Amino acid sequence: MTNPTAPDLRAHFSALFEAALREVAPNLPEASIVLEKPRQADHGDYACSIALQLARQLRAKPRDIAGRLIAVLPASPYLEKAEVAGAGFINLFLKRSFKQQVVSRVLQGSADYGKCSVGQKKKVQVEFVSANPTGPLHVGHGRGAAFGASLADVLAAAGFAVTREFYINDAGRQMDILALSTWLRYLELAGLDLPFPPNAYQGSYVRDMARQVFAAHGKQYVRDPAQIVAGVPEVATDAEAHLDGLIANAKALLGNDYEYIHRVTLNEQLADCRSDLAEFGVVFDHWFSERSLYDSGMVERAVQSLEARGHVYMQDGAKWFRSTEFGDEKDRVIQRENGQYTYFASDIAYHLNKFERGFDLVVDVWGADHHGYIPRVKGALQALGLNPTQLTIALVQFAVLYRGGQKVSMSTRAGEFVTLRELRREVGNDAARFFYVLRKSDQHLDFDLDLAKSQSHENPVYYIQYAHARICSVHEQWGGAIEDLRGVDLAPLASAQELALLQRLIEYPDAVEDAARELAPHLIAFYLRDLAGEFHSYYNATRVLADEEPVRLARLALVTAVRQVLRNGLALLGVGAPERM
């Protein structure tokens, strides 16, 4: 822990039970000891079900085993008592004096309270968002952005050395479609009457880019309409082939000028993406270009390495990776018969590059619709002689936006989508960041705009921020300095609500560690909601600024510690902690 005086209670009590097991059952193999938080406060601060787990092996009743374990449980400076409960649970009760000490640890640790060293400074890369730069980010991208940014911050708080990366898909067909869409809109401005493909990018941002090109270069990029559509299949016959034919003609007719239009559209959308994410509080350490994998020969080298290891074969003029040998449902093409590499080939090269950069752990944040890609990517790593367990895929379900109870449909090409920027302007950054991580990432998320904007206890982010603001108001009424609270006598903190708040503060480092281990920042959101609930109940029932000075100072120290933990947790989620609301 950052604060050496703060013990890891779960590890401490697990060690005590291990010692007790050696006394009760010396020949028993190692057992997994799990400590949980009881649902009811009167059931203790921690509960252990080890006696229930071992009943069959020891051929004894769980309650009898629990009693024997308690009888030989080593003494602990933190433990008041241990009791057998129910069918054989062992409930642990912390000493009141120990609970009270957490206030001093929080005030001393300040912004560092809750941080731990479980990551052991291992290098971890978190790659997230990585949206095709073919238009503004929409609310679906927002969930991956909020999740990835919060996950990276949680991992950093848990002691990992984190690198945040965005993979720019700047070498594929989608960018060609965007460049073509912009050029066709440019030709419209130049007075050419060409039908605009229904499956090209329709958004107003495409017209905006076309206007920029026309304003800067006039009719320099105008070409003969007949040549533009020459040999192109009809839309009604094959809409995608129609697009590909137009792209091929554009490249041939424009020559080097095509690269200019491609570069303008890429740079414009990438700049918009960077700005949007930065305003959302999502900042990357590295923006990695897919095209650089081709320019550097990385894709070719990765394919050659697979070939040299015997994992590639030729069929119908194409190169196939033997993906089925590594658990995939079918083999995958990595180089087409025309010599072009597939997206999968560049994915293999990119992941090879990641591990060549020396990361101990790589976390990819993918949309849930990419679930089928997992075995083929991990298989490719194994085929290259790398350890696939060092790659973890965190899947993010698409977020569905509701306004007035009505679902909002979205299609990037059709231009029918709510942008992340529009969402942020409507509900604010804080509500957007919090709501996106309020569910486990692989669970479906309905984003209720009306709830996100409401100022009520039903809106979790408002409820948590209001707790912080309430404590700031108490401080303002008091008028003292936080430094004066660090050495106060905490003995007056003895009510059931105060002890519950103290226990909740003790659990915050566990919440951070659990969120890091499980790649689950929603656990921080859950924790904060519970902490805010405990505080509001206490505040409504208790006069914090009591007449008796020892009580007043002890309560002030307690709520100040609560404020600090609220602030620390909200920071991990990229959410502000307002002092007034």
Predicted local distance difference test score (pLDDT) of residue 4:
43
pLDDT in tens, 156-168: 999 999 999 999 9
% helix / strand / coil in the chain, to the nearest 5? 55, 15, 35
Question: Global pTM?
Answer: 0.92
Whether 66 has a pLDDT exceeding 70, the answer reads: yes
Could you give the residue range(s) of every CATH 1.10.730.10 domain in the chain? 456-572
Structure tokens at 347: 């994915």
Determine the 3-state secondary structure of 306 from DSSP. helix
Is residue 418 within 8 Å of residue 407, measured between CB atoms? no
CA distance 73 to 344: 56
Whether 7 has a pLDDT exceeding 50, the answer reads: yes
CA angle, corner 323, sides to 318 and 327, nearest 5?
A: 160
Structure tokens at 186: 């440019």
Q: What is the mean pLDDT of residues 349-357?
A: 98
Predicted local distance difference test score (pLDDT) of residue 82:
96
Using 50, 70 and 90 to split pLDDT, how confident is the model at 408? confident
- Across-strand partners of 402? 407, 448
Whether 343 has a pLDDT exceeding 70, the answer reads: yes
pLDDT in tens, 208-249: 999 999 999 999 999 999 999 999 999 999 999 999 999 999
Whether 16 has a pLDDT exceeding 90, the answer reads: yes
Q: What is the mean pLDDT of residues 3-30?
A: 86
Residues whose CB is less than 8 angstroms from the CB of residue 547 and which lie 6 or more positions away in sequence, other chains included: none
Is residue 105 within 8 Å of residue 6, measured between CB atoms? yes
Predicted local distance difference test score (pLDDT) of residue 164:
98
Using 50, 70 and 90 to split pLDDT, how confident is the model at 472? very high
Please, what sign has the CA dihedral across residues 507, 511, 513, 517?
Answer: positive
Predicted local distance difference test score (pLDDT) of residue 416:
60
CA distance 468 to 580: 9
Predicted local distance difference test score (pLDDT) of residue 401:
86
Predicted local distance difference test score (pLDDT) of residue 411:
55
CA distance 471 to 120: 35
Structure tokens at 486: 């660090």
**What's the CATH architecture for 9-94?**
2-Layer Sandwich (3.30)
Whether 566 has a pLDDT exceeding 60, the answer reads: yes
The number of residues in the chain equals 581
Predicted local distance difference test score (pLDDT) of residue 245:
97
Predicted local distance difference test score (pLDDT) of residue 166:
98
The domain defined by 456-572 carries CATH number 1.20.1260.10:
no
CA distance 552 to 424: 40
pLDDT in tens, 486-528: 889 999 999 999 999 999 999 999 999 999 999 999 999 999 9
CA distance 160 to 167: 21
Whether 302 has a pLDDT exceeding 90, the answer reads: yes
* Percent with pLDDT over 90 in the chain: 90
* Burial (0-12, 13-18, 19+ Cβ within 10 Å), 543: exposed
Using 50, 70 and 90 to split pLDDT, how confident is the model at 5? low
Pick the more confident residue, 369 or 351: 351
Using 50, 70 and 90 to split pLDDT, how confident is the model at 405? confident
Q: How close are the terminal C-alpha atoms of the chain, in Å?
A: 34
Enumerate the H helices of 84-138 as residue ranges.
96-109
Strand order of the β-sheet with 399-403 is: 406-407, 399-403, 445-448
Q: In Å, how far from its chain's centre is CA 272?
A: 22
Q: One-letter amino acid identity for 346?
A: S
- Across-strand partners of 319? 314, 335
Q: In Å, how far from its chain's centre is CA 575?
A: 14
Predicted local distance difference test score (pLDDT) of residue 40:
84
Predicted local distance difference test score (pLDDT) of residue 414:
52
* Residue in 362, 168, 188, 121 with CA at minimum distance from that of residue 265: 168
Whether 1 has a pLDDT exceeding 60, the answer reads: no
Pick the more confident residue, 369 or 528: 528
Could you give the residue range(s) of every CATH 3.30.1360.70 domain in the chain? 9-94
Predicted local distance difference test score (pLDDT) of residue 406:
84
Whether 485 has a pLDDT exceeding 70, the answer reads: yes
Q: What is the mean pLDDT of residues 182-191?
A: 98
CA distance 476 to 469: 10
CA distance 513 to 203: 43
Output the average pLDDT for the chain.
94
Whether 67 has a pLDDT exceeding 70, the answer reads: yes
Using 50, 70 and 90 to split pLDDT, how confident is the model at 418? confident
Using 50, 70 and 90 to split pLDDT, how confident is the model at 29? confident
Using 50, 70 and 90 to split pLDDT, how confident is the model at 2? very low
